[in-house]
Amino acid sequence: MNVRKMAYRLLRMFERNKRFPTDEVKLALSRMNDKERAFFKKLVWGTLRRQIYVDWVIDQYLKNPEIPPAIRVVLRIGVYQIVFMDSVPDYAAVSETVSLVEERSFRKLVNAVLRRIAEKSFKEPELLHVKYSHPKWIAEYLVEKYGFRNAVKIMENHLKPIPLVLRVNTLKFERDDLLSVMEEEGYDVKPSPHSPQGIVLKYNGDISKLPYYKGGSIVVQGESSQIVSLILNPDPGEKVLDIAAGYGTKTTHLAELMKNKGKIVAVDISFDKINELNENAKRMGINIIETAVMNGKDIPAMFEADFDKVLIDAPCSSLGTARKNPDVLLTFKKEKINELAKLQSELLNAAYQVLKPEGRLLYSTCTFIKEENKSNVKEFLESHRDMKVVDIRDLLEFYKIDYIWDGYGTFLLPDETLTEFYISLLEKVEN
Ligand SMILES: C[S@@+](CC[C@H](N)C(=O)[O-])C[C@H]1O[C@@H](n2cnc3c(N)ncnc32)[C@H](O)[C@@H]1O
């Protein structure tokens, strides 16, 4: 397969539709061997991560930056290889990229621009958002809300490929036992630094084909996401609600912590996600999850106020997932923040109504946007006087996590395996 051509086609699709072509990328990956898959991932995700920087470089070498979008995409792929992929010799990056140009009349231009860039005579950008390849508003937002040092830490982290982290299904295996088995079979594995159920695996193949996956012993789940269910920490026998369960990555984790005893009600607005959740639970040998496709706002009309624990892993701007999904930084429109914050506070209100006294509610998002985090929780607490914040700082220290505590919740700072997450644990107390 011509991997560069495939990368070009998919990045062109992204440029045209301003939406990452997830299904097409999955299909392309399934047709590649491990080596091709590794190169493709580096090229596609890398070009997206550095798109703003790369565009800045390109524009310095163009007399007129108004070039057709297809040519800009070709140039991005070429420049990314020249500037950021040491494994590709410059001459190969230039010639392979020029061969991607469909409009013959632009070949000369692309060739000339790439050759000049290969001389690497350009200076490092001074503007912070260009240097770290983030939209200007996001770089400014991070500096304003988190200070310069944390802003740089967050943006630098977004530029690195994320290691593959798995969660061991403790209903089937202890982590150490699975690590030993996988090591014996030649896999490059190690325990993840924070979650007691996490494994870091170096692997370029298709995870869903691994016997451990098919047999339900592992789930692909980032480490920050694993911390969420560990903080809510439901007991066996409890009744738990997961109000935006998605594919059930956290729902199944909750079931493991409950030793598959008790009851979990998992709802999501997406039919496909609930279908997949059901498949995942089956594969993992979990039978305490009842699912429903519904709007979380309708929960109070459908359920009694008898849940011991409720998880709201809220639909959000997802900007904290940029390391895994760099496209999110390029496509998210800040005008959507208010709409998301409104939905999130409606879900908080719905969850509150079905939580029993002394019950606990965990609100989490994978974003650094404060309007979706602290502001929402603060407003909710002001109008629900019987809800109190639970201080989870000791727990985060136990899991060796670097965080910012804002009095309402914690913001997980990124590191080698962690990505940004906001977690607020609340409890219903006597008035
Ligand atoms: C952050 S994702 C949840 C991820 C999931 N908890 C996990 O760990 O994989 C948010 C989910 O909210 C769902 N969603 C969006 N609006 C919703 C609503 N009004 N009611 C219920 N679910 C909703 C989306 O379909 C999405 O699956």
Looking at the structure, do residues 207 and 256 belong to the same domain, yes or no? no
Looking at the structure, do residues 200 and 319 belong to the same domain, yes or no? no
pLDDT attached to residue 175: 98
Looking at the structure, do residues 216 and 247 belong to the same domain, yes or no? no
In a domain, 359, yes or no: yes
In a domain, 422, yes or no: yes
Give the rounded distance of the alpha carbon of 143 from its chain centre. Answer: 21
DSSP reduced 3-state for 19: coil
Nearest CA to ligand 1 atom 19: 295
Q: How many domains does the chain have?
A: 3
- Report the predicted TM-score, pTM, of the whole model to 2 decimal places: 0.96
Looking at the structure, do residues 188 and 256 belong to the same domain, yes or no? no
Catalytic residue among 240, 274, 366, 392: 366
pLDDT attached to residue 431: 66
pLDDT (average), residues 19-23 = 95
Q: Which of 94, 125, 156 is the last residue of a domain?
A: 125
Looking at the structure, do residues 231 and 180 belong to the same domain, yes or no? no
pLDDT confidence of 123, banded at 50, 70, 90? confident
In a domain, 146, yes or no: no
Question: For 125-166, how does the pLDDT look when each residue is reduced to its tens digit (9 = 90+)?
Answer: 999 999 999 999 999 999 999 999 999 999 999 999 999 999
Q: Which of 99, 125, 151 is the last residue of a domain?
A: 125
Looking at the structure, do residues 227 and 269 belong to the same domain, yes or no? yes
In a domain, 157, yes or no: no
Pocket perturbation via mutation, ligand 1, pick of 225, 269, 324 by most ligand atoms within 8 A of CB: 269
The boundaries of the domain holding residue 65 are 3-125
Question: For 306-358, how does the pLDDT look when each residue is reduced to its tens digit (9 = 90+)?
Answer: 999 999 999 999 999 999 999 999 999 999 999 999 999 999 999 999 999 99
Number of H helices, E strands in the chain: 19, 13
pLDDT attached to residue 73: 97
Is 316 a catalytic site residue? Answer: no
Looking at the structure, do residues 311 and 193 belong to the same domain, yes or no? no
Question: For 56-86, how does the pLDDT look when each residue is reduced to its tens digit (9 = 90+)?
Answer: 999 999 988 889 999 999 999 999 999 999 9
What CATH number is given to the structural domain containing 11? 1.10.940.10
In a domain, 201, yes or no: yes
DSSP reduced 3-state for 67: coil
In a domain, 155, yes or no: no
* DSSP letters for 143-167: HHHHHHHHHHHHHHHHTSPPPEEEE
Looking at the structure, do residues 301 and 419 belong to the same domain, yes or no? yes
Looking at the structure, do residues 417 and 383 belong to the same domain, yes or no? yes
What CATH number is given to the structural domain containing 182? 3.30.70.1170
Angular region, 346: left φ>0, alpha ψ -120 to 50, beta rest: alpha
| Contact by Cβ (8 Å): 240, 262 | yes
Ligand 1 atom closest to 318 (CA):
1
Alpha-carbon distance of 127 to 136, in angstroms, equals 9
Which residues have C-beta atoms less than 6 Å from ligand 1? 225, 244-247, 249-250, 267-270, 273, 295-297, 313, 315
In a domain, 131, yes or no: no
In a domain, 132, yes or no: no
Q: Show the beta-strand stretches assigned E in 198-278.
A: 198-202, 218-220, 239-242, 263-268
Pocket perturbation via mutation, ligand 1, pick of 229, 231, 268, 420 by most ligand atoms within 8 A of CB: 268
CA–centroid distance, residue 151 to ligand 1 (Å): 27
Looking at the structure, do residues 290 and 420 belong to the same domain, yes or no? yes
Looking at the structure, do residues 338 and 278 belong to the same domain, yes or no? yes
CA–centroid distance, residue 241 to ligand 1 (Å): 13
Looking at the structure, do residues 192 and 229 belong to the same domain, yes or no? no
CA–centroid distance, residue 315 to ligand 1 (Å): 5
pLDDT attached to residue 104: 87
Alpha-carbon distance of 58 to 60, in angstroms, equals 5
What CATH number is given to the structural domain containing 389? 3.40.50.150
Q: Which of 68, 103, 125 is the last residue of a domain?
A: 125
